[in-house]
Every structure is written in structure tokens, then in C-alpha cells.
Structure 1
Amino acid sequence: MADELNYQHGFRNHFSTEALPGALPEGQNSPQKCAYGLYAEQLTGSAFTAPRHQNLRSWLYRIRPSVVQSAYRPLENHQVHTSPLDKPAADPNQMRWDPAPLPDEPTDFIDGLLTIAVNGDAGAQTGVGVHVYAFNQDMTDRFFYTADGEMLFVPQLGTLRLRTEFGEIEVDNGEIAVIPRGVKFQVRKGQNVDAARGYICENYGSPVELPGLGPIGANGLANPRDFQSPVAAYEDVEGDFSLVAKFSGRFWETRLGHSPLDVVAWHGNYAPYKYNLAHFNTINTVSFDHPDPSIFTVLTSASDTPGVANLDFVIFPPRWMVAENTFRPPWFHRNMMSEFMGLIHGEYDAKAEGFLPGGASLHNCMSPHGPDAETFDKASNAELKPQYLADTLAFMFESRYVYHPTEAALATEYRQRDYVDVWSTLRSNFTPEQR
């Protein structure tokens, strides 16, 4: 594969790309004989009979078909989990974690994954799994795919180089990438990166899409043209390789005598993509009151209930705060939706300390949360002049389903077991004798 990466622009456009001239057939998908002796293979991300605007599929023209592999055998992995969980039970307590420590021993992406929480039922294609990763070694002879859902990558430390069947994607801090369900890939560090850390949302439900804009109109939030998918690139390499599959919550391994990244050409609308969060056109109030976080939605996964998301990926980017006569940070609230939050860099305006880049918090359905005592006092007495929040980039994986933390996440040493104390000094300011 070439060192220089090229991209095609647009959100789920029907792309056509070839690494060799004439590798794509003309006028049909599966000719009797493909050019260059390639094999035609279709990868579908939706039911065959899905409506045209929701039908996801790509045709791959590859050196060897995917069926050229050994039998799958179970592979032990006790750090990655999928819903539903037998135990522990979901917990209404507010939870927070420090950043996951970087590994001391050589650790690749697969071995550096840890599941924080899951919800829904992957077998029924509902809900999500939330993982963190920390690794310091490239995947070289191992490849990976998950049949349980698509993977939304949110890097926090270190650039990622995602080597996929469709081509390569480099994902920097402040960018995200989505690898569709079933796509084979490797994860490597970017140039001059010693270790990488970040978050992943494994979406078991309907594939994420751009949210409707409603009264906002035609423009705003994430623009389709700012999404990028890779152009075709391939490697024709023989050797002893491992393909690890995540299937129905378990890990499986098969052996390959060749690299599976051997797609010479492809066309379709089911492909990996990335997006630079700096391109998000933030909408905010210019009068009073703090808006609901839904106005910061980048991508959404619909559930069977209109308007109630299986997953909303929401960001809190740099932005102007100009609301008058308003408590500007997020107010105290209890939600029907459950919130997992992470911090990519800087500070989050609802927390004075303790919420660190690479860390995470979890506030489940109807569990109260909001600004800590120090932030409340500061914001209640602040001079309300226009303020630009420059050094901040936080996000939420918000879901209609209750998150079930894993035993490992509850037991890990970097969980903040005293998190609830950040609200302990909030006292009554009630003065009935005066308005």
C-alpha cells in the first residue's frame, strides 16, 4: 500500500475506486471473468430488501475471496464484552474513571481493548458497547473484524493508521473514524507515535447516519462533504496471518496464508470513513438559556422509536458562549437517555477538576448529575460577557438503553470511587424572606 493516503469526499456516497486501471468491471457487478484474474465479492451492511436510501453494500474485487481461510477456533479474551451481560446488574450510581494507563509491555490494539459498559442486546441488533483502547505495538500479522456492530473510533492520544480492505485511513486527535460491521482491518500507530489511547463505540444497532436538521434548515452541524473514505489500495503478500473475529460476543481466530487487504478495486456505499470534528458547524443560543445537548449531534443511530436514538454521538467543541442572564454550563439534570462521556483534550466546562483527557464518566437513566460545586459557584457569579471556550473537546455516547458497566471496569484501579463527592458541598441557598 502507498505511503501517501488519498480520500474520496462525502457521507456514504456511492464511490468507485481502483488501484489498477480497468480493475472495475463496466456495466455489471459480477462478470464471468474479472479483470486481472480477480474475484468479485459483495459485502452488505443491510438486508437485501432494505429501501434504496438505506441499502448499504459494496462490491470488492480482490486477489483471493474471503472464504480462503482455516476453520474458526475460539480465542480467549476476558477484557472485551458484549451485551447482554449476566452480571453485574446495571448501577444507578454516577461513575467516573481516570485515563487508562498506557501499557508497559508490548501490546497491540486487540490486546489493549477494555470494555467499560454495554447496553441493549447485540444479538437483537440493539444497543452499543463502549470500549477504551491503549496500545504501543502495531498489528502486523493479525487482522480483526467484528460481526457484532460498526466501530466508531475516537482517538485521544496518538494518531491511528487504520489499514482496511478498502484502503488506509489516518485518524488524528480531533478526528473520528467509523469501520463498518464485518470490514477487516489492522490498527497501527501513526508516524512518530510511541503509544495510542482512545475510545470506541461499538454500535450494534442501525448504522450511524447524519441527524435530521429540522428547523435548523439546510446547513449546520456536520456537512456530508467533509466525510472522507479511502481510495482502493492493496497488498499481495503471502505468509502466516491471523484473522480475529468478534462474533456474538466471543472472539474467534482463523489462519490465513495471505493478507486479507488484497482488494484491488471496489465500488459501493458501504465503506470506512473519517471526519474532522473541527469541521462541525456548532449551533448555540444567542439569547438566553443553555440548549439541550442534542443540538451538538454529529452522528445518530435510529431505534424502532422515532426520535429516540439507539445512539447519539454528541460533541462539545470550542464555541462562543454569549447567553445573557443564564447559568451557562450544563444545568443539573436527570435524563431518560443514558450518557457515557469522554474528554479528548482541554477542560469540560461543567467540571472544575477530576475529569481528565482520556478519562470517562457514566450517568445512567434518571441518575442526577450536573456541574460540581466549584463550577456551580463560579458560574453563578460570573460576569456574563461573551466568552470563547477554546481549549475543549468532549463527547458523549448517549443511548436510550441503560449502560451495564463490566466487572473489570468497576474493579479497575483508575476508577474514581469518590466521584459522587464532587457534589457533597452543595448547600441550601434558600431564602424565603427575600426574592
Structure 2
Amino acid sequence: SKFDVDDPYEYGAGLNNYHESESIPGTNPIGCIQPQRVKGTLYHDRLTGSSFTINRKDNKQVHIYRTLPCVSMNDYKEWQPESGKLDLGLARLNFTPSAYNWPAASVDKEATFLTGLKLLAGVGHPALKKGMAYYLFAVGKDMPDNQVFISSDGDLLIAPQRGSIDVKTELGPLRVRASEFAVIPRGIRFHVSLVGGPANGWVVETFMNHFELPELGILGSSGLASPRDFLVPRLQPYTPGPDTQIINKYCGNLFSTTYKGTIFNIIAWHGTYFPYKYDMGRFNAMGSISYDHADPSIFTRVTLCPGTFDSFFGGILSRLLESLAPKMPSPTLATPSAPIA
């Protein structure tokens, strides 16, 4: 895609690869994951996104070497923003068979990414590791410098519809612009700031598995979203900072604690569990070249078993014989959600 806003950050490339990053060269230990003494008197942490004994291809974990361990914080207490109640739990949702359309969320100049989140739809419960939730976000200002957000409920897919945001994660920063999306795995803390003005968009949260690339089947070895086009952040130099307020979404409720010093104190990491972003303009669309229109699943960028897919519409020219797909509702036993970016 062509962007009006440049991306100043460095990235690694490749989804499902084994990545590593260092802000001080030589920090990642070689041949040993948990040495008795880590270089630079750092602490070793590990964040797991899967069971230890799951199949190797599905194993998600990252080894972290930081100046203070992740447990250097107080007990959690229930939290609400000063601006008013923020309810992200699914219990308050009302279910209806009717179809709905929503306009783009209006931007409150005083809303941060966290306080500007609005629950739109959802099903299941994070405690059961079943279901998912959809949110709108509208951001008018940066999150406080010493505040970060973490979802203990599931992975977050964040897609700006208008504007650009900087997502500073523990494992490195991502610049996410309209026509891009980022995925922040469950358990990774991050801070969101604006780039050049307000931004709004949508968020998909999964309580189940992780987002993956779909199988290509008879398409062959290439097409749709290429693994090499998914970008993984790289660490920036460590800068000491004040204590960090951590806002944790846990089973739909919000809790707060204070971490000793800056949470962005990771000097090195390596593993298979990390945030990433993708430019939707790099999607290689497939479709019919004779007649009829393929199902929208043909435009899947990332998928979530057992049946959720994130599709791409746009930049596609269809030349078909005697076929026209007018925009009209159709009965289905699935629940489609079609955000427009």
C-alpha cells in the first residue's frame, strides 16, 4: 500500500518463524535458554501462548531477558477510568437475529485507545477459552506515557480504519496505519499513541486459539497472504523510566497494578510468540475467471479455528460472464461481521 505516514521502525519478516531481537548485541544466550547468570545480570522470563506438550508446529512461547522480572509489581485492584465506567464484559450483551450496520465511531478528543474501546458484539467467555469479541475504537489522544494495557483474555487484532497509531509492545514497536492490521498476543503489554491526529478502527479479540494463515490446498504453494509479508518488531535501546501502571483485562473486567520502573525493559528475546503486523495491500487475491462469485472465504488473510476468518475486500477487479453479486443480505447459519477499512 501507499502510505502518507512513514514507518520509522525496523522489523523481522515471517509469520510462524523463530524470531529473536537484542538491543544490546550478544545478550541472547547461545546454546542455553536459562543460564545460571544471564549476561548483564538480567532476569529470564518466559511467556507461553500454548500448552508445553502441544505439537511443535503449534507451540507458542517467547523467552525474555529483562532488567526486572515481570512479577515486580503490586497486587491487582479493580480499575475504572476517571472519565466514566468502561464495561468490556460480554454479560451485558443482548442477542438478536436482526442485522445491524454501524457507522464509524465518533472520536472523543479525550479518549485514549483504552477508554475509547466500545464493545460491539461477542459470544462465549474467556474463562472457558471459547468465543470472541468485536470492538470499535476511537482515539483522540495518547495513552499516558507510564500506562500500558494487557489482555489476559485473548489475542487482539487491531485494524485502524482512519489514521495511524504507534503500538509500543514489550517486544518492540509497531506503526499501524489504515490498510494495515496488527495482532497483539494474549499476555503482551503495550502502549498506544497517535501519529499525526485522531484514529479510529476496530478490534477482534479471540478467546480461543491464535490467528493463523489458512491452508492453501489446491491453490498450491503461494497466494493469498504470504508469510514473508508479516512483520515482527525489533527492540529499541532500553531507557530507564518511571513506574508503570498496568491495566489488565481479565475475564472482561479491568484491573490495575503498578510495576517497578518501565515495563519496556526487555534487552533481548527469542521465540515463536510475538506481535506482528500486515499490510493488506500485499494480499494476493484469488477468484473466478469464468462465472459466478467465490465465497468471501477466498479472501482470507488470517484464520482462527474452528471457523473465523478475517477477509480482505478492495483492490479487486472481477471480469465474469453473466454474473453479478449485488449487495443484499442472505440467510446464513454463520455470523458475519464485515468491518470496512
TM range (shorter): over 0.9
Q: Within 5 A, what are the aligned runs for 1:112-151?
A: 112-139=116-143, 140-151=145-156
- The CA distance in 2 between the partners of 1:62 and 1:342, in whole Å, is 38
Residue of structure 1 in register with 2:204 after alignment: 201
Cα distance between partner residues in 1 of 2:44 and 2:329: 55
1:107 Cα deviation after fit = 2.0
Q: 1:326 matched to which residue of 2?
A: 323
Q: CA deviation at 1:248?
A: 1.1
Partner of residue 262 from structure 1, selected from 261, 265, 269: 265
Pairing partner for 2:100 from 56, 80, 95: 95
Contact 2:151 2:187 in 1 (8 A): yes
Of 173, 186, 189 in structure 1, the residue corresponding to residue 178 of structure 2 is 173
Shift of 1:234: 4.6
Residue number in structure 1 paired with 2:291: 288
Q: Which amino acid aligns with 1:198?
A: G
- Structure 1 segment 337-348 matched on structure 2, within 5 A: 337-344=334-341
> Which residue pairs with 1:275 in the alignment?
278
Q: Could you tell me which of 221, 246, 251 is aligned with 1:248?
A: 251
Q: Which runs of 5+ in 2 are unaligned?
A: 1-6
Q: CA deviation at 1:109?
A: 1.1
Contact 1:234 1:261 (C-alpha < 8 Å) held by counterparts = no
- What is the DSSP-based 3-state SS (H/G/I as helix, E as strand, rest coil) of the residue aligned with 1:341? coil
What is the count of residue pairs matched by the alignment? 331
Contact 2:93–2:121 (CA<8 Å) still a contact in 1?
A: no
Question: CA, structure 1 residues 121+247, in 2 after alignment: closer, same or farther (shift >3 Å)?
Answer: same
Counterpart of 2:166 in structure 1 is 161
Larger radius of gyration: 1
Mapped partners of 2:55, 2:256: distance in 1: 34
Tell me which amino acid in the other structure corresponds to 1:175.
Answer: E
Q: What SS does the corresponding residue of 2:69 show, helix, strand or coil?
A: coil
User: Residue type of the partner of 2:104?
Assistant: P
Decide which of 228, 233, 239 is 1:225's aligned counterpart: 228
How far apart, in 2, do the equivalents of 1:331 and 1:112 lie?
31
Match of 1:42 in 2: 46
1:20-39 alignment, distance < 5 Å: 20-39=24-43
Does the CA contact (< 8 Å) of 2:27 and 2:267 recur in 1?
yes
What's the TM-score, normalizing by structure 2?
Answer: 0.94
- Per the TM alignment, residue 330 of structure 1 is displaced from its structure 2 partner at its CA by 5.1
Q: Which AA in structure 2 matches 1:20?
A: I
The SS at the match of 2:218 is helix
Aligned equivalents of 2:16, 2:262: Cα separation in 1: 26
**Deviations for 1:230-287, whole angstroms, at most 9, x for unmatched residues?**
1122533232421000011110000123110111110001000000000100001111
Amino acid at match of 2:30: E
Taking only aligned residues, the RMSD between alpha carbons, in angstroms, comes to 1.5
1:380 paired residue number: none
Code of the residue aligned with 1:287 in structure 2: it is S
Assess if the C-alpha contact under 8 Å between 2:80 and 2:86 holds in 1: no
Percent identical among aligned pairs is: 31
Q: Distance in 1 between matches of 2:236 and 2:326?
A: 46
1:331 to 1:157, Cα distance in 2 relative to 1, 3 A: closer
Q: For 2:89 and 2:232, how far apart are their aligned partners in 1?
A: 28
Asked whether the 8 Å contact 2:125–2:251 carries over to 1, the reply is no
Q: TM-score scaled to structure 1, two decimals?
A: 0.74
Q: In structure 2, the residue corresponding to 1:120 is in which secondary structure?
A: strand
Among 103, 108, 112, the residue aligned to 1:108: 112
Question: Displaced runs of 4+ in structure 1, greater than 6 A?
Answer: none
Distance 1:184 1:332, change over 3 A: closer
Contact 1:156 1:173 survives alignment (8 Å): yes
